[in-house]
Each structure stands twice: as structure tokens, then as C-alpha cells.
Amino acid sequence: MVKVAVLGAGGGIGQPLSLLLKLSPHVSTLALYDIRGTKGVSADLSHIPSASTVTGHLPGTLPECLAGSDVVVIPAGVPRKPGMSRDDLFGVNAAIVKGLVEAVASHCPGAVICLISNPVNSLVPVCKEVLVRRGCYDPSKLCGVTYLDVCRANTFVGEAMGDDVSVNVVGGHSGNTIVPLLSQTPGISSLSQSKVDALVERIRKGGDEVVSAKEGGGSATLSMAHAGFVFVENVIKALGGDKDVVMPAYTECDVVDGCSFFAVPCRFGKGGVEEVVGLGEISDGERGMIEDMKGALASQIEKGRAWAIDAS
Ligand code: NAI
């Protein structure tokens, strides 16, 4: 039983994610923080009879929200509007996330941080620099949440194959940094190469489908709440001693030369990421996709690192 803090809990992702966490039998305390709305959200959720107690926090009580937290989930920040890239969110969201992670460093430095806010590719390196400067960076406890790309891949490929599938998606969380490893999906050879290429493109642009369908109302919230919940609940199970938890996470690792962060399947344990499982067997085409994107991912990582150093 763990304490989970959600920072940005009043938002489009934060509210349904908090609902799912409230229903989890593995959570004992759910602490909700936002600059607005958390009084209402916490009062509302507190009427659900489940294992956890829920508390709501506004600016001024972030320390109480964080104190004793085992896991901190961060969906705080602005989402995309049509025509925007995730990178366009950097300026605003980097400042928000920096402030929140400084508070984590002060009040629950041992917590596992699950960062949802975009651009994940650059903001996880921002978090690292903040934690390094506070003397509490533990690479096994800092994860960018890219699991929505896996959910989309499982859905789109599953529909195409008429079967349940479990797709490995690696790299980063934007555009061509998202690399679905469809060659690892059993039975994928039943699909034509053009169908496979179309699926890769759709997985990479899945977020754009939602942004455009919402017509200015934001980006994925409900599917992200689901993905964030599955990710966080698995992390919690591993913290509690479950030894079979392998989840993709955007983590510091050296699986691809030049990219100090990469989303790859990781084995989680009581200390967070215990082992970076790695890419597994990949096709020449997939190796080419990684070659094509690694320069862009490296510069997005550097953008976050340099910004955080400047801002410190
Ligand atoms: P939203 O605007 O509905 O909610 C964001 C919340 O953050 C708001 O309630 C806002 O008040 C709060 N907030 C702003 N500044 C804050 C601060 N300093 N402290 C605490 N809370 C603060 O946005 P939504 O749709 O929930 O998206 C949140 C983020 O998640 C965006 O950056 C979005 O791009 C990202 N996202 C990430 C995905 C992923 O796969 N990792 C998928 C979809 C969205």
C-alpha cells in the first residue's frame, strides 16, 4: 500500500487518472495537487468506497501533498492544440515541471517520478538536472511515461490482425522518435509491408488524430489516463515486491549511442527500474528508423539538459 501524489490532478488527464488510482487496491493515500480544482476533485473522489483516502491540495500545501509519497505522477502543464508539436509546449511546461520536481526533491526525494507532461523527450532530462542539482538523482526512479504509444500500437495492430497483440514501442514520445518494433509481433508477416508501414505511421501520429478530433479542446486525456494508470499501478506492484513487472519507460540508459534517454522495456522492482531489458531482436528497417531519429532525440534531450542548467 503506497502513497501516490498526482501533480496536475485537476486537468484533463489528472482527473480520470486520479479516479482510476482511487479505485486501485494498491493505493493507500492519494494526494491531489493542482493550481486549481483539486478541492472539488478530492471531495468528489472521497465518496468512492475504496482502499485509499484522498486529499486535495492547492498552492501553499504542496509540501503536505508530497510528504511521504512513494510515487509522484506529473500530468501538469499545457496540452497541444491543432498545428502544435509537442516541442512547442517546451517553454511553458519546462518551467512548470522544474518547479514541481524541485518540490519533490525537497519533500519526497526517494519517490519514483512518472512524468506525463510533454515534451517528455526533453522534460525528463530537465527533471534529471533538477534532481542532480538537489543531490537526489536516482536514474532508477525517474521515468517518462510513453505507455500510451504502446496502447495505441496494441489497438491499431490488434485491429489489423484481428487478435490481441502486445507491441513493443521504443525511442521517445513524439513524431519519428516513436519507433514501433512490429517485427517482434508474432504473426505480423501475415500483413503486407505497405500495411505495416501504414500502421507505423498511424502509431507515430496517434496523438495528432486526437488533437485534431478535439478541435482545439486539447490532446488525449482518457486514453492517457488509462495508459498512465496501467503504468503507475505496475510500478506500484513492483515496489511492493512483484518480480514480473516489465514496462516500457523513457529512462536514462545506453541502449542507443548518442541518446542518453530512451524508451525501452524495463524490469521494475522495489527500487524502481532495476534492469533495462533493451530493444530485443529488431529488423534492418527498424534499425534504420532508430538511425534516422536518434539525432533528433539527442537534440531534444540536450535541449532539456541545457535549459535546466541555464535555469538553475
Ligand atoms: P490540462 O490543461 O487539461 O491539465 C493540465 C493541468 O495542469 C491543469 O489542471 C493545470 O491547472 C495544471 N497545472 C498547470 N500548472 C501547474 C502547476 N504549476 N502545478 C500544478 N498543476 C499545474 O492538460 P492535459 O490534457 O491534462 O495534459 C497535461 C499534459 O500531459 C500536457 O503537457 C500534455 O501534452 C501531456 N500529455 C502527455 C501524454 C503522454 O503520452 N505522455 C499524452 C497526452 C498528453
Give the C-alpha separation, 198 to 196, whole Å. Answer: 5
Give the C-alpha separation, 234 to 70, whole Å. Answer: 13
298 Cα: distance to centroid of ligand 1 (angstroms): 24
For ligand 1, mutation pick of 7, 13, 17, 20 (most atoms within 8 Å of CB): 13
Q: Whose CA is nearest to atom 35 of ligand 1?
A: 117
Residue 11 Cβ inside 6 Å of ligand 1? The answer reads yes
Residue 96 Cβ inside 6 Å of ligand 1? The answer reads yes
Q: Do residues 257 and 124 lie in contact, with contact meaning Cβ atoms separated by under 8 Å?
A: no
For ligand 1, mutation pick of 20, 104, 116 (most atoms within 8 Å of CB): 116
Q: What is the pLDDT of residue 312?
A: 87
Q: Residue 217 pLDDT more than 90?
A: yes
ipTM exceeding 0.90, yes/no: yes
13 Cα: distance to centroid of ligand 1 (angstroms): 7
Q: Residue 230 pLDDT more than 90?
A: yes
**Beta strands 178-180 and 272-276: pairing type?**
unpaired
Q: What is the mean pLDDT of residues 183-206?
A: 97
Q: Do residues 245 and 235 lie in contact, with contact meaning Cβ atoms separated by under 8 Å?
A: yes
Prediction pTM value: 0.98
Residue 119 Cβ inside 6 Å of ligand 1? The answer reads no
Nearest to 301 by CA among 246, 265, 263: 263
CB atoms < 10 A from the CB of 174, how many? Answer: 23
Residue 177 Cβ inside 6 Å of ligand 1? The answer reads no
Q: How far are the Cα atoms of 77, 83, 86, 222 from residue 219, in angstroms, in the given order?
A: 12, 12, 10, 9
Q: What is the mean pLDDT of residues 274-288?
A: 97
Provide the grid cell at 73. Answer: 505522477
178 Cα: distance to centroid of ligand 1 (angstroms): 20
Q: What is the pLDDT of residue 1?
A: 85
Beta bridge mates, 114: 73, 143
Q: Which residues are annotated as a binding site for substrate?
A: 80, 86, 118, 152
Q: Residue 258 corresponds to which amino acid?
A: G
Q: Which residues are annotated as a binding site?
A: 8-14, 34, 80, 86, 93, 116-118, 152, 224
Q: Residue 91 pLDDT more than 90?
A: yes
Give the C-alpha separation, 260 to 203, whole Å. Answer: 23
Mapped to the 3 state alphabet, what secondary structure does the chain carry? CEEEEEECCCCCCHHHHHHHHHHCCCEEEEEEECCCCHHHHHHHHCCCCCCCEEEEECCCCHHHHHCCCCEEEECCCCCCCCCCCHHHHHHHHHHHHHHHHHHHHHHCCCCEEEECCCCHHHHHHHHHHHHHHCCCCCHHHEEECCHHHHHHHHHHHHHHHCCCCCCCEEECCCHHHEEECHHHCCCHHHCCHHHHHHHHHHHHCHHHHHHHHCCCCCCCCHHHHHHHHHHHHHHHHHHCCCCCCEEEEEEECCCCCCCCEEEEEEEEECCEEEEECCCCCCCHHHHHHHHHHHHHHHHHHHHHHHHHHHHC
| Residues carrying an active site annotation | 173
117 Cα: distance to centroid of ligand 1 (angstroms): 6
77 Cα: distance to centroid of ligand 1 (angstroms): 4
Q: Residue 135 pLDDT more than 90?
A: yes
pLDDT tens for each residue of 11-47? 999 999 999 999 999 999 999 999 999 999 999 999 9
Residue 173 Cβ inside 6 Å of ligand 1? The answer reads yes
pLDDT tens for each residue of 141-153? 999 999 999 999 9
Residues 6+ apart with CB under 8 A from 242: none
Residue 206 Cβ inside 6 Å of ligand 1? The answer reads no
